[in-house]
Amino acid sequence: MFIRLRQPSYSKKMIFRLLILILLFLLPMDLWAVRVKDIASLRGARDNQLIGFGIVVGLDGTGDSAESLLSRKPIINALERIGISLDSADIAGRSLAAVWLTATLPPFAKSGQRLDVTAATIGDSISLRGGVLIMTPLRGPNRLVYAIAQGPIAGIPRGVSRADALPAEELANLPIGQRMVASVGTIPGGAIVEREINLNLNSRARLYMNLRSPDFTTAFRLAKLINQTLGIRSARAKDAGTVEISVPDSYLGNTVELVSYIENLEISPDNTAQVVLDERSGTVVMGGSVRISPIAISQNGLSMQVKLPTPEQQEGAENQAAADANTLRSDVFMLKGGADLKEIVDGFNKIGASSRDLIEVLKSVKAAGALHADLVIR
């Protein structure tokens, strides 16, 4: 296979250093064996989302305004439950803020464990800095209470926000790195689990492993690996994303040990060839399975031609040496094997082409049907 390059009439800055990362993707797949737990998860062992409505108190004039009833009415109801009766007019200042709380309940979380909580204002509060969340129940989609949240608001980054009385037009002109969102904060370990989700693995006779990136080849490899390791045919690929495992008799009642054993097996996953282009930064990322068909390319004075090697050039060492000599004299690069994208990138790199040129070429090659990979443009 040949790539013919013609030096452009102008020189360009070498900016393909970032593409060195591509070489990591071009190593043999056997060297990229990963643990099963990194590409698959046990069905049922998943996170659960919790939400809640709460009140943050103790704000230094940055809470909801008097016109907002989102924080006034709930705090009045809370005070009435402890025997204190007030009207909305009795609560002056902007020391309160109504917030929406979110948390994630991990699988196998037990009563008494702590969760991180995120609080975000839903009224006209401009900052939660210095506030304290009062006791708030966190519920699941079934409306049951799974955790109780309470504690001081933290995790608000430093910077400039509306809380610093900065005019909106000046705030909009600030670089993003100097702005902050003071209306969102976190409470590390601010919720205590009150209700557990029952997930008894040891009572199961069948297990299901779900691939995070469904692929028929990977699913087949996983089922084959499990069968070879256990010595019996207990696993089968149901589809591209699921592997069904029949628990062997020796592991009945001790499924946790079987799951641990399977999760630590190493497998080489397969995936669809992809090329990711980031036009804003000029970044190109690709995998080693990317291939192109023979095609002639011309872009902004750059000339490249991809040809399949002739049978005469493959017959013997003498012909090969002659071909190599001709390569040096005619400025043609000899490429071994099929035309992969790394060879095209190397060709552009040698003549000093920019990443913009490469991105435009790759889009055109894909449009011509010669790029055998999914093209993802960001």
Rounded to a whole number, what is the largest CA-CA distance in the chain? 101
Sign of the dihedral defined by the CA atoms of residues 22, 27, 29, 31, in that order: negative
Domain boundary among 245, 267, 289: 267
The whole domain housing 309 covers 2-31+272-377
- Sorted by sequence, the CB contacts under 8 Å of residue 226 that are 6+ apart come out as 234, 235, 243, 245, 262, 265
* 168 and 207 fall within a common domain: no
* 72 and 167 fall within a common domain: yes
Domain boundary among 193, 210, 226: 193
- Helix/strand/coil for 349: helix
Number of H helices, E strands in the chain: 8, 21
* 38 and 149 fall within a common domain: no
* 141 and 262 fall within a common domain: no
Integer Cα distance of 48 and 77 in angstroms = 29
Q: What is the pLDDT at residue 334?
A: 39
* 307 and 319 fall within a common domain: yes
Q: What is the pLDDT at residue 246?
A: 93
135 within 8 A of 194, measured Cβ to Cβ: no
If you ran DSSP here, which 8-state letter would residue 77 be given? H
* 309 and 259 fall within a common domain: no
* 85 and 146 fall within a common domain: yes
- CATH at 209: 3.90.1150
- Helix/strand/coil for 246: strand
Q: What is the pLDDT at residue 11?
A: 38
Q: What total number of domains does the chain contain?
A: 3
pLDDT digit string, tens, across residues 104-136:
999 999 999 999 999 998 888 888 888 999 999
- Sorted by sequence, the CB contacts under 8 Å of residue 82 that are 6+ apart come out as none
Q: What is the pLDDT at residue 337?
A: 37
Integer Cα distance of 352 and 357 in angstroms = 10
* 184 and 286 fall within a common domain: no
pLDDT digit string, tens, across residues 31-67:
468 899 999 999 988 899 999 999 999 888 888 887 7
* 255 and 294 fall within a common domain: no
149 forms beta bridges with: 136, 191
Strands 34-35 and 302-307: unpaired
Integer Cα distance of 186 and 180 in angstroms = 14
* 235 and 145 fall within a common domain: no
Could you list the mean pLDDT of each consecutive 10-residue stretch along the chain, which spans 378 residues? 42 41 44 84 91 91 78 75 71 83 94 94 85 93 95 74 57 58 87 91 90 93 93 91 92 90 91 83 77 70 54 52 39 44 66 72 80 84
For 7, phi and psi rounded to 5 degrees?
A: -60, 130
Nearest alpha carbon to residue 229 among 260, 265, 259, 268: 265
The Cα-based distances of 208 to 33, 236, 256 in angstroms read: 21, 10, 13
pTM above 0.75, yes or no: no
Residue 326, token pair as written in the block: 């001709």
* 61 and 176 fall within a common domain: yes
The Cα-based distances of 312 to 293, 294, 306, 320, 326 in angstroms read: 21, 18, 17, 9, 14
* Cα end-to-end span (Å), the chain: 32
b/e map 281-295, b = 16+ CB within 10 Å? ebebbbbbbbebeeb
For 88, phi and psi rounded to 5 degrees?
A: -60, -35
* 23 and 92 fall within a common domain: no
Domain boundary among 178, 193, 208: 193
